[in-house]
Amino acid sequence: MEATIEARGLRKRYGPKVAVDGLSFTVPPGRVTGFVGPNGAGKSTTMRMILGLDRADGGEALIGGHRYRDLRTPLREIGAMLDASAVHPARKARAHLLWMAHANGIPAARVDTVLDLVGLTEVAGRPAGGYSLGMLQRLGIAAALLGDPPVLMLDEPVNGLDPEGVRWIRVFLRSLAAEGRAVLVSSHLMSELEDTADHLLVIGRGRLVADTGVRELLAEASGGRVELRTPQRKEAMAALTGSGATVAVTGEETLVITGIDAAGVIALLTAEGVTFTGVAEHRASLEEAYMDLTRDAVEYHALAGEAS
């Protein structure tokens, strides 16, 4: 089976509310795709429709070209974690994975393999009710990996993880994609996706806002701005504006330039004998780029000011 997730014109309505409105995208193999959007954007509904947990009112969701309900051994085709706490608190972690393996014709030895992969081997005999949120996240990821599937879909996998766990999941997801798997990750933590995802699907109000590479989005958001520090502000402005660049004063010794890159600024000022103490290309964060993209798609706005 080809390692892909595909949405084709997905639609879902709950009463008068349109949760997903004609959503189409493809998650290909070999990369980590971030799935982001404001609260209420339709991310969870979309993921549930992919897994057949919610019936689409229109369109279809395919995993390797097949609907989820048509997969003979689902865990061998797609591994998913939508709710890490969805495990009986009295059930031991290893037993929880064993019954899942048995139901999908997966050898019991695979259970020990995935427990080791996620770092839960030493606590596999403890009831899940005694697990921390971070440990439950690891158990959920182990369940998603149980069938060694070519497609993975994880909702907020870093929730509850400590810094070591966050670093682990970042490296782990990229390694899974490097093996040729299609990896779809929903997250509200843009800083983590910036270091993890290759591509982003951004949705707002149930519609696709952007389908773009992370590097391309950051480059566009950065806008080609160069930040300059110089004790010779007037001389620098004269030289730069004379070259056709646009210059804005941001401080006594600082300028922001567009229309010329950092190397060009350095070459020009050096040729003109203008002293400068710092030149840096502005790099927008993924959070800045995301906020700009979704500014008009936020459904729930908090009031500014002090709480009463």
Pick from 80, 65, 284, 289: which is nearest to 185 by CA? 80
Residue 80 C-alpha from the chain's centroid? 15
Position 288 scores a pLDDT of: 81
CA 301 from centre of chain: 22
What's phi and psi for 84, nearest 5 deg?
A: -65, -20
Question: Token pair 């004063």 is at which residue?
Answer: 249
Q: pLDDT tens per residue, the chain (308 residues)?
A: 678 999 999 999 999 999 999 999 999 999 999 999 888 889 999 999 999 999 999 999 999 999 999 998 899 999 999 998 889 999 999 999 999 999 888 999 999 999 999 999 999 999 999 999 899 999 999 999 999 999 999 999 988 888 888 899 999 999 999 999 999 999 888 888 888 999 999 999 899 999 999 888 877 776 678 899 999 999 999 999 988 889 999 999 999 988 888 889 999 999 999 999 999 887 777 888 888 777 766 555 444 444 44
Instruction: Name residue 209's amino acid.
Output: V
Token look-up 């959503």 returns 23
User: What's the maximum distance between 2 C-alpha atoms anywhere in the chain?
Assistant: 75
**pLDDT, position 3:** 87
Which residues, at least 6 apart from 102, have a Cβ–Cβ distance to it below 8 Å? 108
- Per-residue pLDDT at 308: 40
The reported pLDDT for the residue numbered 306 is 47
pTM of the model: 0.80
Cα–Cα distance measured from residue 12 to residue 55, given in angstroms and rounded to the nearest whole number: 8
Report whether 181 contacts 151 (CB < 8 A).
Answer: yes
Domains in the chain, CATH or no CATH each: 5-212 (3.40.50.300), 224-283 (3.30.70.100)
Residue whose pair of structure tokens reads 């203008």 in the numeric block: 274
Q: Count Cβ atoms within 10 A of the Cβ of residue 118 and give its class: 0-12 exposed, 13-18 middle, 19 or more buried.
A: buried
Q: How far is it, in rounded angstroms, from Cα 282 to Cα 198?
A: 21
How confident is the model at residue 49, as a pLDDT? 97
